[in-house]
Chain A
Amino acid sequence: MLLVRCPWCGDRDEAEFRYGGQADVDYPADPHQLDDATWGEYLFVRANPSGSFDERWVHTAGCRRWFSVVRDTATNEMRPDIPRRRESR
């Protein structure tokens, strides 16, 4: 059971959340410019590291907000530091 830190509600049981996969996968700026391979990659391919992973969670049974965390996929350790990209949002 993971203990997930919602930035608004604090540490909560994983069962309150839904998982959203890799963070910072932006919709292509100009989809018409993409060839099939790049489009396929955007749709289907995500990073799958053993180690540090920036990922999305949504606090479905709480404040219902989305947020990003950094989790080590080999140990499940979650770092409280806020991923880089959130600051620019």
Chain B
Amino acid sequence: MVADGNTPAPPERLWRNPEPKRNYDVVIVGAGGHGLATAYYLARNHGITDIAVVERGWLAGGNMARNTTIIRSNYLLDASAALYDHALRLWEELHEELDYEFHFSQRGVLNLAHTEQEVRDARRRAFANELNGVDAEWVTPDEISEICPILNTSNLRYPVLGATYQRRAGIAKHDLVAWGLARKCDEMGVDFIQNREVTGFVTDGDRVIGVRTDNGDIGAGRVGLAAAGRTTLLTDTLGIRLPLQSHPLQAMATEILEPVHPCVVMSNHVHVYTSQAHKGELVLGAGIDTHNGYTQRGSVHVIENQLAAAVELFPVFARAHLLRTWAGTVDVTPDASPIIGPTPYENLFVNCGWGTGGFKATPGAGWVFAHTLATGEPHPLNEPYGMERFTSGALIDEHGAAAVAH
């Protein structure tokens, strides 16, 4: 595969569509980015290849196909910086390893500050990042204008007072990431079972020994949930109560334009984030719709607010035509951090609660979840992310650094 800047033509076939066997060492629920990366690192790091990934729809058609593909690791707290930067380091080598070009583009991300308090918070985060070995800079409005000339910093109700800048951050072509992972997993013997919904579990006392599906049971030594917004529908069947709420999260894209937007820009305060896709569309997103729901459809006033903000920040956007809007179903925790670890049921493990920000974590999440599934114990990087933190109170409160409202 050549990295010539153009999207390669997909090969004839990237994975088989086998009939499932009766039993697997590991069954993963959900063939999103996280399910795929988990299968990949189970095989690569732990030599476990007797794996089925069971997907209710089509491979990577959930939030993986719907996200705005922003990758960064400038999170405030130590636990988060470690996890997300581990993921970013893996992104930097993953395409070579998969021998599959997915256009990981480290074009930098600006997180704008529009109020004095935001300036203080943003600088604190940049300093915390530096202490954690995560690249981060504080940049002034003049420097911002050099990095991103189309951004209007001054004639605004909320002028841009500065920004944090992470140069290693960027975007990747999400579908290609999924296909590259799936192809490699398939080569290593992983079975992808599409169009089959997991409806519950086969249990023996308080052990999980398989999954129930809408087309028969599949036995499993261990089960890993990577079902994003639909996780609680499954854990509810066992009486496990997870602190998750599923919300619509929307995004949109314009027609294809010449390159005008050189980096990624996020604004928590006026609430929009933008980049330009490789193909040329301007891609825009904002926060969740406040109500919870599984409709994969959000409300128009959320779009109106973010478009108003986008056109103020980027006057040139006013001429672009909006072509598509869509939504995913994201699972949000009270502290805006994921839950990765064991459950009260033996052999059942969860990776969920990534909310609006889990794409950037894809390889890192797969790495630690594979470790957890292979050994039965959390990896040091996901040790703080167990569900017991909602009992102990040791929360990982990353609302400020999540950069979108949730």
Contacts and interface: CB of A to CB of B under 8 A. Distances in A.
Interface of A: 1-2, 13-15, 18-19, 21, 36-37, 40-41, 43-46, 48-50, 53, 55, 71, 73-76
Nearest to A13: B301
Interface in B214-245: 230, 232-233, 236, 241-245
Given A1-B300, A2-B299, A45 B390 contact: yes
A78 B293 CA distance: 12
In the A-B complex, the 3 residue pairs with the smallest Cβ-Cβ separation, listed nearest first, are A44-B243, A19-B290, A40-B391
Nearest to B334: A44
Contacts of A50: 230, 233, 246, 294
Contacts of B290: 18-19
19 contacts: A2-B299, A14-B291, A14-B299, A14-B301, A21-B245, A21-B292, A41-B241, A41-B390, A43-B334, A45-B243, A46-B243, A48-B233, A48-B244, A48-B245, A50-B246, A50-B294, A53-B292, A74-B294, A74-B295
Interface string B96-119: 000000000000000000000000
B295 A19 contact: no
Given A45-B242, A48-B292, A37 B301 contact: no
Given A14-B299, A44-B334, A45-B390, A71 B244 contact: no
Interface size class of B (residues with CB under 8 A): 20 to 34
A41 B240 CA distance: 11
Given A14-B301, A40-B391, A48-B246, A73 B293 contact: yes
Given A2-B291, A49-B233, A76-B295, 7 more contacts: A1-B300, A14-B291, A36-B392, A48-B233, A48-B246, A73-B293, A76-B293
Contacts of B299: 1-2, 14-15
A37 B388 CA distance: 9
A41 B241 CA distance: 8
Interface in B147-190: none
A40 B390 contact: yes
B291 A19 contact: yes
Scoring A37, A40, A49 by chain B CB atoms within 10 A of each residue's CB, the highest score goes to A40
A61 to B, nearest CB: 12
